[in-house]
A and B are shown apart, each in its own frame.
Chain A
Amino acid sequence: MRLNDLPRILPPWAETLRQRLFATPLDALATLVCLYIIWRVSVPLIEWLLIDATWNGTTREDCRSSGACWVFIRARFGQFMYGQYPLAERWRVDLLGLLIVGAAIALSWRGLPRRKEASILALIVLPPLGIWLLYGGWGLKLVETREWGGLMLTLFLAIYAGLIAVPLGILLALGRRSRLPLIRFASIVFIEFWRGVPIITVIFLASLLLPLIMPTGFNVDRLARAVIGLAFVIAAYMAEAVRGGLQALPDGQAEASQALGLGYWRTMRLIVLPQALRISLPAMTNEFIALFKNTTLVLIVSIFDLLGIAQAALADPAWVGMNMEAYVFAGAIYWFSCFGLSQWSRLKEKRLQAAYGR
């Protein structure tokens, strides 16, 4: 009689549990050890985060319990979001945020009439509009970039560096696969140079050398330097992501298009890039996540993004010892943003695999 023929004693759910957690004695031991560790870690953590935490109040004196003092986050919430951006002008940041979110939702709706034209229009109109809203001038009060900060600055850095990096990366990827040796060589040098050096040195480089190589009297804004530095590095990484897509595409596509009489740029724009970019989208999203994480490095040149604000908050004498609260809050925002993006990219990748039938 084989073991499988024995009448099953356990109900199905318990059987699944047994196979997944207690298959062998060693497995059972590992499970128990894990459960013990989870118990020892999560109970104090949840107590600190939620149960013993103080939620209401205005000053440090309101936090008497042993748990987290979320009053601190409440009191400084404005700074975490906007930095030193003037209170009276913060509606401009909110408005821009609403515009971007609204445009993104509208453009991702497939039924939108003239969706392609609308996307191009949004890409042309929104970035300069955003700079006008944030920086001011032409009827709006001027807000210097050193007053910007917090999450708003993090998003600004990521989005604007991304806006430069994506087209530049695509051009570099095309250059790297070009027929012309000089263009290929220049692209390879550019890509490998920026990929070979740490981002922190690039931010130093941009902030020290950009003013030096510009004509006298032409001032590059401190924040713009950081955006350019970040954009160049990410463009190099983006180029490699796009190259992956280009290489995955069969040569026949470009050859067929050329046989139809399309020139190089039209072949790329109409035939090659639409397909290649779809393949490289997950890899490009990963590079964007890396960019989002690396925006924190502007702390080095005293630009206070979300992490910088959290770090600066530690020095506030009115709120001594709030390190953990500040880090947990900032870390959670980074984690949810990056995790959300990577899940979205995974979804895209799955759809792609289904479409290409791998």
Chain B
Amino acid sequence: MIRFLRDRKVRDYFWQGLATVGLLAVIWFFVQNASENMLKAGMATGFQFLWRDSGIEVPFNLTGYKPSDTILALLWTGIVNTILVSVVSIAVATVIGFSVGLLRLSRNWLLSSLAGFYIEFVRNIPLLFFVLFWYFGVLAALPTPRESLGLFDAVFLNRRGLSIPTPNDLAGFRIAVVVTLVLIAVQFGLSRWARARQARTGRDFPLWAVGFVLCGALPLAAFVAAGFTTSWDVPTLRGFNYRGGFVLVPEFVALFAALSTYTAGFIAEVVRGGIQSVRQGQLDAGRALGLSPGRVVRLVVIPQAMPVIIPPITSQYLNLIKNSSFGAAIAYPDIVSVFMGSALVATGQAVEIIAITLAIYLALSLFVSLFMNWYNARHKLVTR
């Protein structure tokens, strides 16, 4: 009997069984209480409420949502707003982050200290502080529409938000997008051809310079051309406010400014760490092989730094998407604000609404981490 109890397998089963029973008992206890409490409070259950009219006003939406639409449409508006602010912030945070991270490594003492100052400043203050600071501190102190800060007489910033012009029709831009896609395809084919030729003959091809023209300069030219040939709806001052164009509400501007500058501080540290992880010996070896400084960066530093940089940067992106929920503090109509806030108050179906919101964020996280694993597996450095 005692030997039986000392058997490792038996003990493993015993402890796991005990843990499972314990966990199930706790869950059962909570569910039991919840259903009892909900019955007592007369709370409705089920997901039918999603198809009811919402009656909730959303001041900023891209989906054409009206208060007479369903709660499902409201949720969709929230999702679109979350995605909008996340995507724009991610793009800007990446640009600022990479610039600051590279400046941090600059030989120039002043530049690198300024970059370091920025990083330490941003990373040691709560994000909510920045969100509130931009909203109540900066944007509330902006001038009235009559005294707006204007840029090229097309973009206007005032305390009612940022007014930007919108194109009246998209035909020109559609052509520009198609042109860009074609050019990217050409560049892709070219790079395959160049690699094959180099493997066969050893001859080099200025792929990066061509790529800069094909994927950078020409698409830019296409978009500029499209911009000039399209008629624009430019915001103009009428009475007390700007009419026409599109108004990015102050909530959006504040959340975007806070998210992008805050996350940039973290991205900068990731970039600095990634580049510093490439050992000096690698650079020396590259130079000893006769590579030019530009090629050392391209062929030695970037391929080794990127696998170090990409995973933490992806998790920073994920953090940014999750942090876009901070907009709820200034009533930016994102998922949390319109769904977990307004819709929950209107319907009172806390359990269902919380479950849906969490499921959306979890699905997003799962998707990003799956992508990250795939990327890591693909780009793992092969070392010998």
**A contact residues vs B (CB 8 Å cutoff):** 20-21, 23, 27, 30-31, 34-35, 38, 179-183, 186, 192-193, 195-201, 204-205, 208-209, 211-216, 289, 293-294, 296-297, 299-300, 307, 311, 314, 323-324, 327, 330-331, 334-335, 338-339, 342
Is A180 a contact of B136 with CB atoms below 8 Å? no
A selection of 9 A-B contacts at a CB cut-off of 8 Å is A186-B19, A197-B358, A200-B326, A201-B354, A213-B31, A213-B33, A216-B33, A314-B136, A327-B137
- 0/1 string, B342-384, CB within 8 A of A gives 1: 0010000011001001100110011000000000000000000
Is B365 a contact of A195 with CB atoms below 8 Å? yes
- 0/1 string, B29-55, CB within 8 A of A gives 1: 011011011101000000000000000
Q: Which residues of B contact A195 (CB under 8 A)?
A: 365
Q: Does B128 contact A (CB under 8 A)?
A: yes
Segment among B106-114, B186-194, B221-229 that sits at the interface with chain A: B106-114
From A35, A38, A289, A330, give the contact of B129 (CB < 8 A): A330
Is B329 a contact of A299 with CB atoms below 8 Å? yes
Segment among B118-126, B161-169, B174-182, B273-281 that sits at the interface with chain A: B118-126
Is A198 a contact of B126 with CB atoms below 8 Å? no
Is B129 a contact of A327 with CB atoms below 8 Å? yes
A196-B365 contact, Cβ under 8 Å, with A182-B19, A335-B124 = yes
How far is B137's CA from A299's CA once the two chains are assembled, in angstroms?
Answer: 17
Is B326 a contact of A212 with CB atoms below 8 Å? no
Is A215 a contact of B33 with CB atoms below 8 Å? yes
Q: Which residues of A contact B361 (CB under 8 A)?
A: 196-198, 201
Q: Which residues of A contact B300 (CB under 8 A)?
A: none
How far is B136's CA from A58's CA once the two chains are assembled, in angstroms?
Answer: 25
Q: Does B159 contact A (CB under 8 A)?
A: no
* Beyond known contacts A323-B140, A342-B123: 19 more, CB 8 A cutoff: A20-B107, A182-B19, A196-B365, A196-B366, A197-B322, A197-B358, A197-B362, A198-B361, A200-B325, A201-B336, A204-B340, A211-B37, A212-B38, A213-B34, A289-B124, A297-B329, A307-B126, A334-B125, A335-B124
- 0/1 string, B86-108, CB within 8 A of A gives 1: 00000000000000000000011
How far is B269's CA from A342's CA once the two chains are assembled, in angstroms?
Answer: 14
Q: Which residues of A contact B129 (CB under 8 A)?
A: 296, 307, 327, 330-331, 334
Is B16 a contact of A201 with CB atoms below 8 Å? no
From A213, A216, A297, A324, give the contact of B30 (CB < 8 A): A213
Q: Which residues of B contact A31 (CB under 8 A)?
A: 108, 110-111
A20-B108 contact, Cβ under 8 Å, with A179-B12, A201-B354, A297-B128 = yes
Q: Does B210 contact A (CB under 8 A)?
A: no
Q: Which residues of B contact A35 (CB under 8 A)?
A: 110
Q: Which residues of B contact A324 (CB under 8 A)?
A: 137
How far is B137's CA from A35's CA once the two chains are assembled, in angstroms?
Answer: 27
Q: Which residues of B contact A213 (CB under 8 A)?
A: 30-31, 33-34, 37
How far is B141's CA from A110's CA once the two chains are assembled, in angstroms?
Answer: 53
Q: Which residues of A contact B34 (CB under 8 A)?
A: 209, 212-213
- 0/1 string, B123-143, CB within 8 A of A gives 1: 111111100110011001100
Pairs of residues from A and B, 3 with the lowest C-beta to C-beta distance, nearest first: A196-B365, A338-B124, A20-B109
From A209, A293, A330, A339, give the contact of B351 (CB < 8 A): A209
Is B124 a contact of A198 with CB atoms below 8 Å? no
Is A21 a contact of B109 with CB atoms below 8 Å? yes
Shortest distance between the CB of B190 and any CB in chain A (Å): 32
Q: Which residues of B contact A300 (CB under 8 A)?
A: 328-329
Q: Does B61 contact A (CB under 8 A)?
A: no
How far is B32's CA from A215's CA once the two chains are assembled, in angstroms?
Answer: 9
Q: Which residues of A contact B20 (CB under 8 A)?
A: 182
Shortest distance between the CB of A290 and any CB in chain B (Å): 9
Is B354 a contact of A209 with CB atoms below 8 Å? yes
Shortest distance between the CB of A189 and any CB in chain B (Å): 11
Shortest distance between the CB of B106 and any CB in chain A (Å): 8
Shortest distance between the CB of A191 and any CB in chain B (Å): 12
